[in-house]
Amino acid sequence: MGFLDDIASGIKNEVQWSAGREVVGAIKKGAEKITGGGSPGKKRCPKCRTPYNEGLRFCPKCGAKLTVSCEKCTTDYPVETKFCTNCGGALK
């Protein structure tokens, strides 16, 4: 029985290791969804979710517009901004 016990123990260890790896991967994916993933200080494109450095006007991967301009005072803001902090106008 010693030989079969060794095989069973090896299989058990492999299954536990594989399951643990899957759990860690799921946790990392969940954390990326919560934090937005990527490096700190980087934003993500609203269209393709590619991380980009602030100051860009268009996504380097898909070309989506990353800024929106206030119609009243023409100040530029990141695309997720809802209101102009200069004049209070709503941004589209």
Q: What is the pLDDT of residues 9-66, one digit of tens each?
A: 777 777 676 666 777 676 766 666 555 555 556 788 989 999 988 888 999 999 999 9
The candidate with the shortest Cα–Cα distance to 37, out of 50, 55, 53, 23, is 50
Instruction: Look at the block and give the residue holding tokens 């102009």.
Output: 84
User: H-helix or E-strand containing 13?
Assistant: helix 2-35
pLDDT computed for residue 32 by the predictor: 60
pLDDT computed for residue 35 by the predictor: 52
Reply yes or no on whether the pLDDT at 73 is more than 80.
yes
Q: Give pTM, 2 decimals.
A: 0.48
Nearest-angstrom CA–CA distance, 23 and 16: 10
More confident call, 69 vs 6: 69
Nearest-angstrom CA–CA distance, 38 and 79: 18
pLDDT computed for residue 83 by the predictor: 92
pLDDT computed for residue 58 by the predictor: 93
pLDDT computed for residue 4 by the predictor: 75
